[in-house]
Amino acid sequence: MTHFDDYATKYHTVRMERRDGILQMTFHTDGGPLQWGLLPHGEFPQAFRDVGSDPENKVVILTGTGETYSGPRAAGGTGMRSTPAQWDRVYWEGKQLLTSLLDIEVPMIAAINGPAWRHSEIPLLCDIVLAADDVQFQDSAHFPNGMVPGDGMHIVYPLLLGWNRGRYFLLTGQTLDAKKALELGLVSELLPRADLLPRAWALAEHLAQQPTLLLRYTRVLFTQPLKKLLLEHLGYGLALEGMSVVDRTVTPGT
């Protein structure tokens, strides 16, 4: 087990605050909007593991900083390069990123504060998904950028959008605006940015009134089918993604 004081200030890319059992995790880069890279890729699995191991957490809120939830929006042709040994870190952390998220056995609320260009599957795996009314979703980092979308995108988006819409989204680099995200069920509520966190906290406070075991076991029930999908497909997807990255690395002229 962990305690809040053990991890509250431990991470460079996650700011923590807790009140009455409700933990808010705010993602950031140097106090501004989160810029995805190896630092958050390594820190998030550890942070999720700490949060999930703390019995004092009753509800968790995930949110970002400023007007963007996660970036930067990748430019075509700038996909990463890596040797197999270097990719092994990404492979290991990529599996832990989502499995440790689902191992948080209390209800989770996403408050997506703006466009989510990178790793938008993370907030979409929460139990309640709220978003600012200018939110946008795009998988800018993978197929349009020369990489197999195998780090969970290939599981989450076809699951949430439907098989055909999910594949179209991943292959074309489609951008979904707020209205479309609500219509397709990616989010449950759209709010002005100023109202987003107050609404998330109001929902969290309502949930936190329930008995602890009711909260925990409901989350366990909701995440079990997702864990099965990750167990079957996440490692394989990351391996194929790694092969596409290594191919860029060793193929002349790419």
Distance CA 157, CA 124 (A): 9
Average pLDDT over residues 2-10: 97
Identified catalytic residue from 17, 67, 105, 121:
121
What is the DSSP secondary-structure string of 78-93?
A: ------HHHHHHHHHH
pLDDT in tens, 72-95: 988 766 667 889 899 999 999 999
pLDDT in tens, 174-195: 999 999 999 999 999 999 999 9
Distance CA 90, CA 88 (A): 5
Q: Does the active-site annotation cover 241? A: no
pLDDT in tens, 30-74: 999 999 999 999 999 999 999 999 999 999 999 999 999 999 988
pLDDT at res. 76: 65
pLDDT in tens, 201-212: 999 999 999 999
pLDDT in tens, 114-144: 999 999 999 999 999 999 999 999 998 999 9
Both tokens assigned to 35: 């810029």
Average pLDDT over residues 10-18: 98
Domain 4-202+211-250 belongs in CATH node 3.90.226.10 = yes
Distance CA 100, CA 45 (A): 6
pLDDT at res. 74: 81
pLDDT at res. 250: 81
pLDDT at res. 78: 64
What residue ranges do the domains of the chain occupy? Answer: 4-202+211-250
